[in-house]
Amino acid sequence: MDNEERDPVADIHKALEDPIEDVLFFLEDIMRPWRKLNKTELLLAAMIQEIDKMDDPLGIARLRLVAAVIYQSKYKYDLAEMEAENARKIRGLPRGFYVSALHTLSSVSISKLDYIQAEAYGKQALGLTEEGSTDGPSMAVMNLMGRVYAEQQKHNLSLEYFLEFKDICEKIGHREGYSIAINNLALAYNSLGRYAEGEKQLFEGLALAEKAEQKGQIGISNSNIASHFIAMTKFDEALGHAEKSLEVAKEIKDPKSICNRLVILGRIYRETGRPREALKHAQPAVAIAEDHDFQYILPAALRELGATFADLGEPEAILYLDRSIKLFLGRGDDEEPTGLELAYFEYGKLLVDKDRRAAAENLWKSIQIIKKRPLTPLFKSKLTAAENLVRELPQVPEFESASIEISQENLAKILDVSKAIISETELSGALEKILDVALEISGAERGVIWTKENGRLDFANAKNFHGELEKEPDYPAIVEISSKVAGSGNEFIAPGSMEVRKKMREFPSLAPMGVKSFFAFPLAVDDKTIGVLYLDSRFATIELSESIRKLLLSVMDQATMVLEKIRHLEAISRKSNRLQRKVRQQDNELKTVLDIVEKQKKELEERYGVQNIIGRSSKMRAVFELIGRAAESDLPVTIFGESGTGKELAARALHYGGPRKEKLFVPINCASIPENLLEAELFGYEKGAFTGAVESREGLFEVASGGTLMLDEIGDMSAQMQAKLLRVIEENRIRRIGGRHEIKVNARIVAASNKKLEDMVNAGTFRKDLFFRLNVINLTLPPLRERKDDIPILADHFWKKAGGDPGDIAPDGKREFMKTLSRYNWPGNVRELENEMERIIAFGGAMDVAFLSENIVAGVSNMLSAGGIGEESLNLEEMEIRLIEKALTAAKGNKASAARLMGIPKTSFYGKVKKYGIEWTVKRKQ
């Protein structure tokens, strides 16, 4: 079928009729013809329209995954991620579908150079993959994990997964997959220095691709062979394969492959002393990479162009090499991405005659990275050349010890992990973080954390298991291994299948485990085991190097301390819903953690969005609109409103509706704290700063850094504190009481007051400069008397919140009740209304005028009196009789008019006249 005849909608419907369970086969089946026509965008547009029309969950999910793959091929990674995530959220689909969705998310993360996230998605997919499974999704996940670990320079793990991928392809006769596996294995072997095995695999992969007439794979195979020969410094042999790979890339019109292969050819020509030919390839490579935003290829293309210009003696060389290094370092996926070492080398060479110190620094950086790479003949030659050059250059001591650099990396890793774990303030979050970190460092696939309480081992958390842990075939063995570690306090590890079988002999009653490696570590504090961390891998053999093992143990030590603290805090929380007093703490760190946990615990019990502020009146709608706009900015906000209008609720809506919502919202009432204590609360203090300062303590500006600090009743702040506050707002720095150093803070300020700050400025009681700093956005909350349309919905809300039963409310009584509430002026605003509802329910009342507080009835009566109806200090029934009589008097006996005067229905008025036996006559009036 040619392009003009092909109908994407018809193709979609036909593909959906096919009951293929393997989503990857479905993807390939529907995309193949459109990929050949280079018209996948037409298929994508049709899919988006069809998704909107469909109600079949599986069909929608399949099309969303295809859309994700097409978006990824168009380098629209955020859209690809969105479609794959939307597909994964659909419930009730076959297991293999979720494996495919996670595979797609992982693949997109690789494209985005986020290898940590790619690994996390991949391990989730592995958790859904049954051992021995040979379906398409399982096969694809094995290849994917190999790619993830290859990008992370974990080549032993990469090789293990590529071997699994190859075995599955061989079992099911998947020729294309087998060809890909052969190529990937070759790359893994080369990375491990097993070059003969790698070369053999490369040529076998090329032969398979040519036999199957797979153009794309033929291009990839030739490109990989060219890269292999470059690493072997066999540039003449590399040239033919590189040219063939470029020819295929142009034929299939793949700009990314064209760009990559131009870089390879440019390098070959440059390394063989043909800079003019190199220039013809490096320049278009840079142009294509910039046009298509190929951030992964651009640094290498710039490196080749810069090095070529250097060989030609052109001054632009320094600009291109400098930019190349900056882009390599800015990718964020790796501190030392592949190719950076050669950029440093070429830059160092270029600077030898220009800046000898800078030349030495760049060459030393190149040397340090090359020593961590597999020493191919190419790297050996570059290493020798770099070492020869630095001998003639000035010494650079800080770069001359690779061991120091490595230890610094490990230290940085431990600190980063510690911060990540400490940031979690609930037990479940901390446990999940510990598992994530342990799996990332070790390369293991699955993990379990157990806690030990009163000598008993309890399950706490697990990662990447398929279904319930108790139903896993390996569950009995996992329990026995973990129990052994919990009892002995010693680690129990088996890094390899042979070691697994050997260790399992200690448990003769158990069935053999289906894992290739396992590791179990005690989590201990002060020689007391409080838990066990268990890790394993079913598909790859994991061997922990000594440095990785020490890093893992260091992280576990710190994680254990945090875990112990959080367990204690949650134990306290379980004993009481609300802490009765401030907990006296032994150290400042525990105090900080406790405050954060308790604060977040309270905040999680509430709903903070602006949509949860009750109100439909025009004034409140204007308030909501302003909050919505102001929430997205970091500008200071001043909130004015009478007491009880909800200033803190508005401030919380500003915080939780904006980009700072992940950090803390910290309110403080400036009027309720004496000036000398207010300074300590806001800015903190150092140990010994004053009597009673036995430990240093952070101030609220530090606690709220990254979040929002609400300064309530700021109008009551003294002039001296106003001056100190102004300095903090201007400089974003504070100095603790008794401190010597300034501390940078970043808190959004929301000031609130029930006094008009403009009037205080005019009166000279509030600083004018501070006012203008704070009043960038002004938010005025209307008093309840100005938004009476909201009173009924507020009353209903507070009634339900206080536990009132709506079924006990008589309609007529409720209408009178609400009208009476609406007549009252509510000097205490919303807070007074909430208190009134709570009081009525507490005393067993109902929504009836008879249960209202006397001050409310009296207030309404006074208002009526101002309109011509007076009242005396009577009880509620007498007052109601008197009000009815006076209304009849004012209406000259017309009951309908009297009912209107009182604002109640005629039927209710007649009922009350009858109830109280009121008879009105002119004589009675006299």
| pLDDT grade for 775, boundaries at 50, 70 and 90 | very high
Token reading at 906 = 């005629």
- Is there a contact between 224 and 180 (Cβ–Cβ < 8 Å)? no
Whether the predicted pLDDT of 870 surpasses 60: no
CA distances from 289 to 191, 239, 292, 297, 597 (A): 26, 22, 5, 7, 48
Domain 606-782 CATH superfamily:
P-loop containing nucleotide triphosphate hydrolases (3.40.50.300)
Whether the predicted pLDDT of 19 surpasses 70: no
Residues 182-236 have pLDDT tens digits of 888 888 888 887 888 888 988 988 888 888 888 888 999 999 999 999 999 999 9
| pLDDT grade for 151, boundaries at 50, 70 and 90 | confident
Supply the pLDDT for residue 570.
67
What's the predicted TM-score (pTM) here?
0.48
Whether the predicted pLDDT of 821 surpasses 80: yes
Give the whole-angstrom CA distance, residue 815 versus residue 818.
5
Q: Please state the three-class secondary structure of 480-546 as a single string.
A: HHHHHHHHHCCCEEECCHHHHHHHHCCCCCCCCCCCCEEEEEEEEECCEEEEEEEEEECCCCCCCCH
Amino acid present at 360: A
Give the whole-angstrom CA distance, residue 126 versus residue 107.
14
Best-predicted range by mean pLDDT among 277-286, 618-627, 916-925? 277-286
SS3 label, residue 752: strand
CATH class of 410-575: alpha beta
Whether the predicted pLDDT of 413 surpasses 70: no
- Is there a contact between 665 and 656 (Cβ–Cβ < 8 Å)? yes
What secondary structure does DSSP assign to 90-158, as a single string?
Answer: --S--HHHHHHHHHHHHHHHHHTT-HHHHHHHHHHHHHTSPTT--SHHHHHHHHHHHHHHHHTT-HHHH
Supply the pLDDT for residue 871.
45
Residues 6+ apart with CB under 8 A from 194: none
Give the whole-angstrom CA distance, residue 115 versus residue 153.
11
Whether the predicted pLDDT of 405 surpasses 60: no
Residues 537-557 have pLDDT tens digits of 888 888 887 777 887 887 777
Query: Of the ranges 744-748, 863-867, 913-917, which one carries the lowest mean pLDDT score?
Result: 863-867
Give the whole-angstrom CA distance, residue 337 versus residue 769.
50
SS3 label, residue 274: coil
Give the whole-angstrom CA distance, residue 307 versus residue 304.
5
What torsion, rounded to 10 degrees, do the Cα atoms 209, 211, 214, 220 define? 20
Question: Which residues are bridge partners to 461 per DSSP?
Answer: 449
First to last CA, the chain: 104
Whether the predicted pLDDT of 123 surpasses 80: yes
Greater confidence (874 vs 780) lies with 780
Supply the pLDDT for residue 421.
60
Supply the pLDDT for residue 774.
93
What secondary structure does DSSP assign to 424-451, as a single string?
Answer: --SHHHHHHHHHHHHHHHH--SEEEEEE
Supply the pLDDT for residue 547.
74
% of the chain exceeding 90 in pLDDT = 33
Q: Go through the chain and tell me how many residues it has.
A: 926
Give the whole-angstrom CA distance, residue 123 versus residue 542.
14
Give the whole-angstrom CA distance, residue 414 versus residue 410.
6
Best-predicted range by mean pLDDT among 263-272, 551-560, 589-598, 618-627? 263-272
| pLDDT grade for 401, boundaries at 50, 70 and 90 | very low
Whether the predicted pLDDT of 125 surpasses 50: yes
Give me the mean pLDDT over the 637-657 stretch. Answer: 91
Residues 326-370 have pLDDT tens digits of 998 887 555 678 899 999 999 999 999 999 999 999 999 999 888
Give the whole-angstrom CA distance, residue 188 versus residue 155.
6
- Work out the mean pLDDT of the chain and round it to a whole number: 83
Supply the pLDDT for residue 409.
52
- Is there a contact between 135 and 116 (Cβ–Cβ < 8 Å)? no
**Domain range summary for the chain, segments of one domain joined by +:** 410-575, 606-782, 789-925
Whether the predicted pLDDT of 402 surpasses 50: no
Token reading at 220 = 């990839």
Greater confidence (84 vs 570) lies with 84
| pLDDT grade for 701, boundaries at 50, 70 and 90 | very high
Give the whole-angstrom CA distance, residue 675 versus residue 718.
7
Whether the predicted pLDDT of 925 surpasses 50: no
| 847 φψ region: left (φ > 0), alpha (ψ -120 to 50), beta (else) | beta
Q: Please state the three-class secondary structure of 792-848 as a single string.
A: HHHHHHHHHHCCCCHHHCCHHHHHHHHHHHHHCCCCCHHHHHHHHHHHHHHCCCCCC
DSSP 8-state code for residue 737: B
Residues 718-749 have pLDDT tens digits of 999 999 999 999 999 999 998 889 999 999 99
Greater confidence (311 vs 33) lies with 311
Contacts within 8 Å (CB) and 24+ apart, 450-456: 450/482, 450/486, 450/531, 450/532, 450/534, 451/530, 451/531, 451/567, 452/486, 452/529, 452/530, 452/531, 452/532
Supply the pLDDT for residue 607.
60
Whether the predicted pLDDT of 874 surpasses 60: no
Supply the pLDDT for residue 698.
92
